[in-house]
Structure 1
Amino acid sequence: MNKQRFTDKFLAAFFILVFLKVIGMLAQLFHESFWSVIGKLVIFLIVAVIIMMVLKNFEDKEKEKESGRKGRSGGDNFYIESSLFDRIRNKYEELARQYIAEQEYKKAAKVYMNLLQNHYRAAKTLEEGGFYNEAAVIYLKKLKNRSEAAQCYEKAKQYRKAIDLYKELEQKEKVGDLYREINDMKNANAYYQMVADDYVNNSQMVKGALVYRKKMELPAEAQKVLLKGWKENKDAFNCLNNYFANISDVKKLGQEIRHLYEKTTSDQKITYLEAMKYEFRKSPDLQKATRDIAYEIIAEKTATRSEIVNELKHFNPDDDMILKDISRYKTGRNRMFRN
């Protein structure tokens, strides 16, 4: 390898000397005749070309020898270089860990950024140290990760910057939350409304109602959405269950249970019966109303769904005779069908 490098250097130096010699001989035109100078120049160039050809031939032979040596030792060189690289990398890793242990998070981040070229770990290290703005910049500029950057700006209470990023990410509810954080309820409710509309349009009525109730503090609107879900059979049971759960006054709840039942269609009554099981257990004041409704539904559906009589036990938990009555009813019904 050293011989080859020497040959390369010699050729470069020789070329420079030839170039300077040619310039020097041309300068003699001011002192000697034109043809005399040209004659000397031609002879010199011929000699120079011959020398360069000899040197080139020598260089080619050296390259062939060097190629053969590389074929035998190339694998060893690779492992040596890899081992050296790993040792250097481990030293940098150790240095970064030492800085973190000393709570020198910015220094550790610089090691990760500049020496290890690991931007993600640099950002995480800054985030761990509470340098949220600096971490956000790395997430955004180096990693193109708007989500992580937005979270860091939020932790840094840079709410405006976080809002802009969450808007780009189309996280509308998060945008609303941050507007509420800075007491901008007009913009907060505008984004919450978008979220509620999206839920309702996707038939996710309970989630839409929760946005109205918890985020916008509009319980009446939440109830409207739940009723809409119940009437349109969009997650009907959960809508009805949540609708009743949002009525805290037991007397009003009892009235609403009866009022809503009177508007219930025949194909909704089985679902209504399921809801009555939950309402029955809420309060002793609701038991009579819910039991009466359950009896009405069971009586109406017995002709087509005989197994519905089993539901009676849910509304008579302390009546030991009810199971015997149900059993007698089933036995009598079976005998009737056999005859």
Structure 2
Amino acid sequence: MDFRLQISSKNVYPKEGILIKGANPDLWLYEIQKMGLELDKITVFPLPDVKANEVFGCLVFNKKKTKVLDTGKNNFCQLVENKLFIPENTNVFPILTKEEWQKLFSENYHFLHPVIGLVELNDEVNWDDFIKVPKEVTVAITEPSKSVVIPKFISSFTIEVDQEEILKHIENPLSEEEIIEKLPFNMKKLMQGNNREMDKFLAYLEKHPEKAMQLAIPLDTLGTSRGGNGGTFSFNSGIGELFNFGWIRRFFDNLSSGGNNSTGFFRYGFVLLFMILARSCKGSEVKENLPSILVFVVILIIVIFLISLWAGSQSGSSGSVSGGSFLIDSNRFNTLRSRYEKLAQDYIARKEYEKASHIYLKLLKNNHQAAKVLEDGGLYREAGSVYLKYLQNKIKAAELYEKGHAYNEALALYKELNQDEKTGDLYLLLHNKSEADKYFNKVISNYKAHSQYVKASLIYKNKIGDRTQAQDLLLEGWRTNQDAGKCLNNYFANISDAEALEVAIRSVYKNDVKDENASLFLHLLKYEHSRFEEIEEVTRNIAYEIVASRIDKNPEIASELIHYAKNNSTLLKDVGRYKLKAKRS
């Protein structure tokens, strides 16, 4: 019988074999591993070549039928009647019956190929003959130092803040080399409140407004900020002072404080004259010496008046020593303030916010405006430092540090202020979830202590990410009647699947609805009734049960049925008639 292969356009039999050409077992093993086959799940048969003592290749029998997506340069083979392997896209001729297959072929597998002919597959490849386990060698492994991990993307970042360094640029924006040495006015007299020097200073600022930054003379310059002399402002005219006798007080103040040499001379002279006058006033001699005493007193008053005028002129020209009260008119004061304010506005217009803040902070003594300028300019860390040091507003400082990515400083302030939720939010931002959850649990405990179960559940759901705990809290609020309506409403609203919602409604109705909360449950159920068409029948039946069991005691409960049968006109009429009848009876 002529038994041969024919070319076929399709494979008629299952592909359970793979032909690997080549005489080297190393090649076979490499190709088997490349195709993803495991040695314990296949059988490999060597194939003889047409020449004696030479190998054509091997046939891999995929007995476990492991799926092979890519055979590479190898070829699939078909298995015919579980007896004969033939190449793919071929068929055998003539077609044999099952009895003929059993009679012609032994129990062993056979392989038919147009090059090597028909081969009986007697021997399997024993891999133990080819694979040898290498000898174990002890190797000293030197571990490299830990390298720096370079992130592929930045999820968050924080900025370390040196508060003193930040404020240094605001409090002292100019270096020592930039400070002017030669000035057209006497700085010492100006600091003591001399009006003439103030006029010179204002004229100088009009020509050189930005020199105010270099001079750094604050608005309260006369004896308060720059010398610590405790000076005060007094905005009155000289005539007013004269008539209200303020000059007498100042004169005696000068006498008591020592003043300069001339003032001391008049002081001792006045004391001497007073002693002479006292000695002359003895008993009966008073009446005889009265005219001369009166003349002496008048002369003394005139002398004191002249001395006060002289002292006032000296005060205006040369300033005063420490502790005095100076006559600075309001026009000069307001002019200086307006110059500083205009300079600050000019810096803001040029977006030089730190310099503008310095004007408000050091010259105008307006700490709040200094902080606001920095905040409006986007210098959040600088603004936070001003709020913290000068305004002692820790809440605002923490908010600004957070906006400026100074998270460590913001965290420290939020912890100090016991702002647990904000602290947790920042830890989440820094990808430290374990620390964040600690603070969120503090917030939850506080909410539960105040019976705020809905807020506590939102922390679980939105911050911690535990929806199960959130739902359990809402059920606890419903069962303990702590804001029960909102708790159950949120509990149902958190369920987005119709089937799960039906299970939840049935469970709550069966286990957690009592006489005291049945009406509230019925009221909340109508919102869930309209959410999903699939659960309308279930919610309607529950509603009917609740109404039927309580309508005798509470006829008004029948009105709830309207929400469950909007298209049932008969039921609506019956409800109306029933309520009317109940009212009449």
TM-score category by the smaller chain?
0.7 to 0.9
Conserved 8 A contact 1:166-1:172? yes
Q: Amino acid of the residue matched to residue 216 of structure 1?
A: I
Change (3 A) 1:327 1:12: closer
Tell me what 1:279 maps to: 528
- 1:194 aligned onto 2:445: no
Tell me what 1:268 maps to: 517
Tell me what 2:494 maps to: 246
The Cα of 1:325 is off from its aligned counterpart by: 1.2
The equivalent position to 2:424 in structure 1, one of 152, 176, 191, is 176
Separation (CA, whole Å) in 2 of partners of 1:62 and 1:102: 59
Change (3 A) 1:250 1:51: closer
Separation (CA, whole Å) in 2 of partners of 1:325 and 1:50: 116
After superposition, give the CA deviation of every residue in 1:262-316 in whole Å (9 maximum; x if it has no partner): 1111111011001111101111112111111111111111111111111111111
- 1:11 aligned onto 2:262: yes
The equivalent position to 1:86 in structure 2, one of 334, 358, 362, is 334
Separation (CA, whole Å) in 2 of partners of 1:203 and 1:281: 30
Separation (CA, whole Å) in 1 of partners of 2:303 and 2:439: 75
Separation (CA, whole Å) in 1 of partners of 2:574 and 2:304: 105
Matches within 5 A, 1:138-149: 138-149=386-397
- 1:226 aligned onto 2:477: no
Matches within 5 A, 1:15-30: none
The Cα of 1:327 is off from its aligned counterpart by: 2.1
Conserved 8 A contact 2:398-2:409? yes
Tell me which structure has the larger Cα radius of gyration. 2
Separation (CA, whole Å) in 1 of partners of 2:461 and 2:270: 94
Change (3 A) 1:129 1:59: farther
Give secondary structure in 2 for the equivalent of 1:209.
Answer: helix
Conserved 8 A contact 1:163-1:175? yes
The Cα of 1:331 is off from its aligned counterpart by: 3.9
Tell me what 2:191 maps to: none
The Cα of 1:11 is off from its aligned counterpart by: 2.7
Conserved 8 A contact 1:99-1:107? yes
Separation (CA, whole Å) in 2 of partners of 1:278 and 1:108: 58
The Cα of 1:253 is off from its aligned counterpart by: 0.7
Conserved 8 A contact 2:519-2:557? no
Q: Amino acid of the residue matched to residue 160 of structure 1?
A: N
The equivalent position to 1:290 in structure 2, one of 539, 547, 552, is 539
Conserved 8 A contact 1:11-1:55? no
Separation (CA, whole Å) in 1 of partners of 2:534 and 2:270: 116
Change (3 A) 1:246 1:9: closer
Instruction: Kindly report the root-mean-square deviation, in angstroms, between the aligned alpha carbons of the 2 structures.
Output: 3.2
Q: Amino acid of the residue matched to residue 262 of structure 2?
A: L
After superposition, give the CA deviation of every residue in 1:60-116 in whole Å (9 maximum; x if it has no partner): 644446879xxxxxxxxx998123222221221121111111111011101101110
- 1:204 aligned onto 2:452: yes
The equivalent position to 1:310 in structure 2, one of 545, 548, 559, is 559
Q: Amino acid of the residue matched to residue 11 of structure 1?
A: S
Tell me what 1:108 maps to: 356
Separation (CA, whole Å) in 1 of partners of 2:269 and 2:518: 109
Comparing 318-327 with 263-272, greater Cα deviation is found at: 318-327
Give secondary structure in 1 for the equivalent of 2:392.
Answer: coil
The Cα of 1:318 is off from its aligned counterpart by: 1.7
Give secondary structure in 2 for the equivalent of 1:266.
Answer: coil
Separation (CA, whole Å) in 1 of partners of 2:503 and 2:565: 21
Change (3 A) 1:50 1:281: closer
Tell me what 2:368 maps to: 120
Structure in which a larger fraction of residues adopt strand:
2
Separation (CA, whole Å) in 1 of partners of 2:510 and 2:544: 14
Q: Which runs of 5+ in 1 are unaligned?
A: 16-48, 69-77
Separation (CA, whole Å) in 1 of partners of 2:438 and 2:452: 19
Tell me what 2:407 maps to: 159
Change (3 A) 1:319 1:67: farther
For normalisation by structure 1, the TM-score amounts to 0.78
For normalisation by structure 2, the TM-score amounts to 0.47
Give secondary structure in 2 for the equivalent of 1:267.
Answer: coil
Tell me how many residue pairs correspond in the alignment.
294
Structure in which a larger fraction of residues adopt helix:
1
Tell me what 1:134 maps to: 382
Conserved 8 A contact 1:11-1:52? no
**What percent of counterpart residues are identical?**
40
Q: Amino acid of the residue matched to residue 521 of structure 2?
A: Y
Conserved 8 A contact 1:139-1:148? yes
The Cα of 1:333 is off from its aligned counterpart by: 3.7
Tell me what 1:32 maps to: none
Tell me what 1:185 maps to: 433
Separation (CA, whole Å) in 2 of partners of 1:50 and 1:215: 84
The equivalent position to 2:346 in structure 1, one of 91, 98, 119, is 98
Separation (CA, whole Å) in 2 of partners of 1:312 and 1:252: 24
Q: Amino acid of the residue matched to residue 349 of structure 2?
A: A
Change (3 A) 1:63 1:156: farther
Comparing 262-271 with 57-66, greater Cα deviation is found at: 57-66
Give secondary structure in 2 for the equivalent of 1:228.
Answer: helix
Separation (CA, whole Å) in 1 of partners of 2:274 and 2:382: 58
Q: Amino acid of the residue matched to residue 202 of structure 1?
A: H
Separation (CA, whole Å) in 1 of partners of 2:366 and 2:376: 16
Conserved 8 A contact 1:206-1:242? yes
Conserved 8 A contact 2:374-2:382? yes
After superposition, give the CA deviation of every residue in 1:39-80 in whole Å (9 maximum; x if it has no partner): xxxxxxxxxx87984699988644446879xxxxxxxxx998
Separation (CA, whole Å) in 1 of partners of 2:579 and 2:461: 46
Q: Which runs of 5+ in 2 are unaligned?
A: 1-237, 239-250, 276-296, 310-325
Separation (CA, whole Å) in 2 of partners of 1:281 and 1:269: 19
Q: Amino acid of the residue matched to residue 328 of structure 1?
A: R
Change (3 A) 1:305 1:50: closer
Tell me what 2:141 maps to: none
Separation (CA, whole Å) in 1 of partners of 2:336 and 2:264: 37
Comparing 292-301 with 322-331, greater Cα deviation is found at: 322-331
The equivalent position to 1:258 in structure 2, one of 506, 522, 527, is 506
